[in-house]
Amino acid sequence: MINLIDIKQPREQANELRDRSWNKDLSIPTKNVLNIVDIIRAEGDTGIFKCIEKYDHVKLKSFIVTMDEIQEAYEKVSAKQIKIIKHIKSKLEKSEQAVIDNLKNIKIDSDGIKIKKTILPIDRVGCYIPGGKARYPSTIVMCTVPAKVAGVGQIVAITPPMTNGEIDPLTLVAGDICGVDEFYKIGGAYGIAALAYGTQTIRKVDKIVGPGGVYVSVAKSIVSKDVSIDMIAGPTELLVYADEKSNAFYVALDLISQSEHSEDTLCGVVTKSKTVADNISREIDRIIKIKKIPREELVIKSMENNGFIALCQNNEQVVEFINEFAPEHLEIFAKEDKELIKKIHNAGLILIGKYTPSAVSDYCLGSNHVLPTYRFAKSRAALSVLDFIKLVNVIEMNKNALKKIAPIMKEITSTEGLINHYNAVEGRIKE
């Protein structure tokens, strides 16, 4: 079921695997998304209703989530579910607060120049919460908690409606617990466009965050010329490095757990051992055939279309493959894990050892499960409080300090041909 690939050119083959998983040709979704964006920009609310009916197959009188609906949602969830949401929220809050606490009170005072780095939150943020083949109350926690810790003024959440025209109750409750200010029953590319450009009902946001499928990712990429986005976050990716000491059953469980998200997830293994590769492949087949797993159809399609085991010849190939692949999740099942990690520079999240499955990191470790996909782990890591703040420099200097740097200013401005820059300095020091 899962594809075995002999690695001879790690960089090239890592990129081939990625391009294959992302629908090979993005021209079709890109063309469709461009059309959807144009509809929302031209028609606003009317365009939203058209898209809801066309793509979510439901007619709505309003796409605004009301306070009455939120209160009704509380009646449909259990006390245990609410407790779990609060537990996940608390873990993530502590993690994000630790980050922002280390950024406070940054001051530099040297040679008469005073610099204070001030943290300011973004004013208004839109959070995309996936729907479709599953429900994701945990994702609304991951998107909104860092924003709240950062001090974002207004948090807007959107998610596709179910076929009954409602939102999953626990997702609404989680949003309320985490402080969502506005909630709308819209999703997909049209939801991203509404956040980016606004409609008669929805005021545009300053930044869009959150994971999604190919259409959402393409939409975020398209609107990024007009509004800030966090990253391309989705479809899900998992890469596992396994050696001879690895437990093939655990590896198979983890590949299956991530494959159940959707048929376009990208899950694979990199190893130096053909025996390990064969054992993992057999375990995947055995689990699926014997255990009759939930969401079996999705898992099988994902494995057959995108699943792989990359067989490398040596450690150098392994490291090169991983760094070029730049996975969203990287699990390491290896006795030399600490040495290997020193050489891994590109991974959204690294999980070490057989008792740290990626599935747990999706929920309750204090880490964020909104992670970079499609090579974006080369330039960033998980969504965090850093995505919701601006680090603004406030600078003050005295006349003596200005005199000291005047010769430097004269030389550099002369070199660049921007003499008026120097004149702004000279006019002050000659007074």
What's the rounded Cα separation, in Å, for the pair 30 and 219? 8
Give the pLDDT confidence of 67-118 residue by residue, as tens digits. 999 999 999 999 999 999 999 999 999 999 999 999 888 999 999 999 999 9
Sequence-separated (6 or more) residues with CB below 8 Å from residue 39:
47, 50, 51, 190, 193
Give the pLDDT confidence of 240-251 residue by residue, as tens digits. 999 998 999 999
State in Å, rounded, how far the first CA of the chain is from the last one: 80
**Structural domains of the chain, ranges and CATH numbers in brackets:** 3-24+235-369 (3.40.50.1980), 44-229 (3.40.50.1980), 398-429 (no CATH)
Mean local confidence (pLDDT), 224-252? 94
The verdict on whether omega for the bond into residue 29 sits within 30 degrees of 0, i.e. cis, is no
Mean pLDDT in the chain? 94
What's the rounded Cα separation, in Å, for the pair 376 and 381? 8
pLDDT of residue 235: 84
The CA distances from residue 39 to 47, 132, 222, in Å, are: 6, 22, 14
Q: Catalogue the active-site residues.
A: 328-329
Give the pLDDT confidence of 267-325 residue by residue, as tens digits. 999 999 999 999 999 999 999 988 789 999 999 999 999 999 999 999 999 999 999 99
Residue 21 has pLDDT above 70, yes or no: no
The CA distances from residue 201 to 46, 48, 53, in Å, are: 10, 10, 18
pLDDT of residue 214: 86
Mean local confidence (pLDDT), 115-127? 96
